[in-house]
Structure 1
Amino acid sequence: MPALDPGRTALVLVDLMERIVALPLAPRPGTEVLAASARLADTFRAVGAPVVHIRVERPNVDAQPPGSELVPDLVRDGDPVVVKRTIGGFQDTGLHELLSGLGATTLVLGGIATNLGVESTARAACDLGYDLVFAEDAMSALTADEHRASVDLDFPRLGTVAPVSAITLDGPE
């Protein structure tokens, strides 16, 4: 996979919240998804590329369930956080405007769950014209079959699927 342009690429991490990372997931546990996502975020930050976090809030409730914050130490100073109230990250969140303002035309996606928040966000991003890269080992689902269906059947139609180790960015000029 060719190196990505850090001036036009953003990492988008979906729903890496304590209560979601702690779910029984497959094909890998949330702790592995979190570790891979953190490595990828470090790669992006090292060349000045943006890291955007999305978290979900349940609508029409007085309080969010325990563990609804992003995993501690995942978000760094300057990382935007977008709050969604639907499955995907674009509906009524300002995500598209944020990414456009950052100059992003390519998105690298990771998070939980592969077939829900990540895929819904990816489909909307594709409709909006973004080029997509899916960090396969920086995501997981409630079952391995759900993860594989997205990764093997859907994501190749929307963009490029790659392991975190293959996703690189050009260094600063």
Structure 2
Amino acid sequence: MTTPTLDPRSTALILIDLMPRIVALDTAPLSGHEVLERCVALAQATRAAGGLVVNVRVERPNVVVQPAGSEFAPELDPQPGDLEIVKRTVGAFHQTGLDDALQTRGIETVVLGGIATNFGVESTGRVADEHGYRTIYVTDAMTGLDAYAHEFAVSYVFPRFGETCTGTEYVAALSRR
């Protein structure tokens, strides 16, 4: 892991699927509640530094009434200036307008956290890389459905599509501008 160099004005923290029904899943190596707590702190630091926070939640396609707990976790309610994305696939880019919204705001770097490491986070990161964004994964602000899948994504997949760092390293990079 490395401490990245960041310009907060061109950085977006993208938080994947932090909704009550997903935070409550049995996850590893961290609980969904631990990830939520860490992502709330990252969102506060990102806003304070002048970066963009993107809250992403999933809705089931072709379903009028979504399952209970499909709203954003109350601790992470989007704030004025945040971007809210509703996805209907694993990743946050497909038919959501996310790429256009990021380009309009001059975003060059995306920083990822959330649930689940090897599903929504990985899928969003791969497509961010394909779109030419610098991609950073905050490895202690995400968790998987099992520890092996999480560790494989963090140690093998993510370094091939971007950079990895801890939440502490990310916050330090925001304050070094």
Common fold: TM-score over 0.5: yes
Assess if the C-alpha contact under 8 Å between 1:47 and 1:171 holds in 2.
Answer: no
Distance 1:135 1:6 in 2: 15
Cα drift, residue 7 of structure 1: 1.4
8 Å CA contact 1:11, 1:107 repeated in 2 = yes
Percent identity (aligned): 50
Query: Per-residue deviation at 1:77?
Result: 2.2
What CA deviation, in whole Å up to 9, does each residue of 1:47-81 have, x standing for no partner?
Answer: 11110011100001121000000100312222111
Equivalent residue for 1:115, pick from 113, 118, 135:
118
Kindly provide the amino acid, as one letter, of the partner of residue 85 in structure 1: R
SS in 2 for 1:154: helix
- Aligned residue number for residue 38 of structure 1: 40
Superposed counterparts of 1:65-104, under 5 Å: 65-74=67-76, 75-104=78-107
Match of 1:24 in 2: 26
Q: What per-residue deviation string (whole Å, max 9, x for no partner) do you get for residues 87-138 of structure 1?
A: 0000000000011111111010001000000000011100000001101111
RMSD of the TM alignment (CA)? Answer: 1.1
Residue 7 of structure 1 is matched in structure 2 by: 9
One-letter code of the match for 2:106? Answer: G
Which structure 1 segments of 5+ residues have no match? none
CA contact (8 A) 1:11 1:51 kept: yes
SS in 1 for 2:174: coil
Give runs of ≥4 in structure 1 deviating > 6 Å. Answer: none
- Give the length in aligned residue pairs: 172
Residue 150 (str. 1) matches residue 141 (str. 2): no
Q: Secondary structure at the match of 1:68?
A: coil
Give the partner amino acid of 1:155: F
Equivalent residue of 1:77, what SS? coil
Instruction: Give the alignment's TM-score, normalised by structure 1.
Output: 0.96
Give the unaligned 5+ runs of structure 2.
none
Q: For 1:122-172, what per-residue CA distance to the aligned partner results, in whole angstroms no more than 9, with x for missing partners?
A: 111000000011011110011001101110110011111111000121467
